[in-house]
Chains A and B, each alone.
Chain A
Amino acid sequence: MTVVGDSGLPHDAGRRDALHHRERLRKKITEQLKERIGEEDIVAAGPEKKIRVPVKGTKRWQFIHDRGQGEGVGQGDGAPGDVLGPADDGNGRAGEAGIEPGEELYEVWLDMDDVEELLFSELSLPRLKAKTGDVEVTETTFDQIARNGPQLDKKSTLRENLLRNAKRGRVSLGGIDKPDLRYLSYRDLPRPRNRAVIFLAMDVSGSMTVARKRMARLFFYWCVQFLRSRYEQTEIVFLSHTTEAREVSEEEFFNRVESGGTKVSSAFEAVQDIQRDRFPADDWNIYVLHVSDGDNFTADNKRALELIEMLTGICSLVGYLEVDSNSGGSHKLAGYYEREASDLDRFVFARAAEDRELWPALRKFFASDDVEAAIR
């Protein structure tokens, strides 16, 4: 018989695979969050509270018998007719690795910082350019290769070794020694902070029902969260409009209840006025996002589009989101834009009928430039 003190296996294999598992889980959490950004409890959580995210899609799929149907055998007390507590998965199958159907439902507690980190890493302000009046800030960047530093850089170490060997007439790796070692190091770089202003315009007219207003506000809530966490230097201008538009405070914007008719052009006129007044295009990257249910006075559609065309001349993006629980209608604004302005550069419109469509809309507006380049 043999007893050996070791298995000869790598000791950290378990931890290694566990890390892979957690990394995959993290990705699935992100997917899950995107579906859930329409849910109030995330928004209501506020910056301090943690939110609970049950992560679906981590189930280990298998064909299994209908749960709670059929029969089984158990061990223990009980006379025929007695009702007992929850059965252990019915069939008492013994657990060989990888064999039992795995109902793996993870629940993860996240604070808002995590949520934002997971979600917003995919978003950016498109076509952000240098403008006069940009501020400079210093940022620490890890991109220097140096002879000393906090972290060994294997690639450049190998390259140095190859070079050193080649100088001595040997074309191969080997004898890695102190002079070869290269480290990843950091430097402080001055980075311009590009100045940007974003106009958020919301339709608060009578046709915006409670549900539609709720969606609009959720959308703007995430816009604001995103901008504040990623672009500190961004100015945000809040506008509410019915048949006329006016600039409002953030608090008013998220809470104001109004009614009346809708003239979308009023919002863009207000944007134009404020922009001319306070945000010259040479000094500012300009973004406009408008959310409405699309029930505009038909006669006003043409005027709205003219203003949008003008704005796209100076803006990096003009976006329009149509919130409409019974979506579709071609008489609506999105339908009009689709017919008249589908190839207008820098104009992006989207529809969201359900909460889970809010994330794709955000993605569409705040697609990073390289993603956009790939689409075009």
Chain B
Amino acid sequence: MAAPAPDRRIADLAAAFVELRTALGRVLVGQDEAATGLTLAVLAEQHAYLEGPPGCGKSELAAALAALSGARTHTLVFHRDIRETDLLGDVLLSRHRHRGHERLRRELIPGPLLHAEIALLEDLPRSPGEALGPLLRILAERHALGQPLPLESAVATGPLEQVEAPIDPLEPGQLDRFAIQLRLSGLLTGGLFDEAAVLLEREAARAPSRAAAPRSAVMSTATRHAAQRAAAALQVESRTIDAYHRLLDRLRRRSADESASGDRLMSDRSFSSAALRLVRAHAFLRGAPAAAPRDLGAIRYMVAHRLPEDVQEDFDHILEELLGDPPNVTMTETGAQMPGAQSQGDDSDGAAASSTASDSWIDDQADVPAPPTLFGKPPPPAQVDPLLRALVGRIERGRIDPDTDPGGQPRGYRPLRDLDELIDADLIEALLFAEGRLPGAPRTFERKRKSAGGAVAVLRDISASMAGRLTVWSSQVVLGILRVAARRRMRVGYVEFHHRALPHQVGGRLLHRSYSRLAEQAGQAKAVGQTNYEAPLRTALEGLRGGSGRNRHVVLLTDGLPIIGDTTVRRERQLARRLGVALHTVFLGNGDCPPVLDDISLETGGLRFYGRPLAGGGLRLEER
């Protein structure tokens, strides 16, 4: 290009960040992408969220970033009992005597977090909403207690969403505060055995009791700041902006097509200013004089929670295709027509029009172009979100308000009732109380925890007609329900059925909390036999009969008419009504839904869902 060569100083600044990237890459074996993402975070002054399974090195990487970049750092470990003062700083209580009466005023003195240039927020999702709200606002505004903060980047870590993790994950809207979103995988569970061998060799050579060697900074604060300023001021070539528009367009359309949550996570906040800062930083790191279209690769570090997983995996491919296939005309900003540029994207254009069900969508795979993968051709995933959301709604409705529990999360305040509770009391009020100067008792946390009651039994049709992709989709539905139940610590039961009911008991019980064992089981179902509704419903209701409480659900997953047993399941419907169990039905089959499913759902206050085939071979669960 005609751009001037970067001057020497700029090159030095870029070199400092390249060194940071290199040093960071050495911290962990095989996590280069995260090292690059975090380097970009500092350079572009963006917040980053790092998630991964336990023990994959998230914390070590974040700590190394802080040390190597030479920034003033504060680490905050989030936990259930984290308080406002941990976030903001000490309390200052001032007393003013004025004409015989005393006036008390409380203020906050900015604490170490507010002085940090890089803030490390460990285990962020473990924090209750009370502390999280103010924190996220601080991160967004970079302003607290009436003064601007020196904060450049906050790096938060969190666990992977796991079936048995007892914490609620952050909401996508909360995660959106973190422009950079990185997902680490373990070397072992990710199958990276060569890298694992390198790590083993490194550990075998290293003294086990090594004192955690302090890492020294690779750059000064002045260098860091100068580089940040220079990167932010970098020009973005017009063809880059053009390509970015087209990239966003493709991502948006692919996302809307792939997932129920669609493109709603592509917020303006992230995809305008933050994204362009990252693109500039990417170019700066390359030593380029201006951001070229290839620097759009930086967007890859933003997508972990913003795009459906399929689109994420395809991201490099989508970008490559777009860059390798540039439009002929780049001058016209409003020129909507870009001949030949979107041959691959065309089929998503008519998503609405082409969603008519083909009669042969179950058996005939040849018609459906499956996405190429390394492991054969699995069918496109079923979109189970709508069912899960509706089910969550029913479950939440069935749960009573959270119970007061001393081990629960702080949710609001109440007056102190017992001196033991002083530890949970408001600091200042406890102090004044001790001095005998507080009229009444100090406020203390009211701790509550959601009742972990309730049960869900999943009845899954495994009759012969459920073969092929229906088996895969059913498994996805079952896993989704298990995840919903696990997060609420509800008991689960799992019954596969054909002409007979095959309950999967654990410890002799239908209902239990061994979620991962069931999850494994659900992945191994094989389709045989004919359909019988009576036997599985009977089994599930017998299992639920013993328990108490209102929050009891059965989800019946089937693709066909019952042939064996009482096909009207009259007695089971009656029993469910008497027990107050909601029977939800999900029909995955081809053709009309058996009317008996309507009766089952309507009579017991259950949901009625069916699987709508999608263009491209997918399936979306929708309410009937």
On whether the two chains bind one another, the answer is no
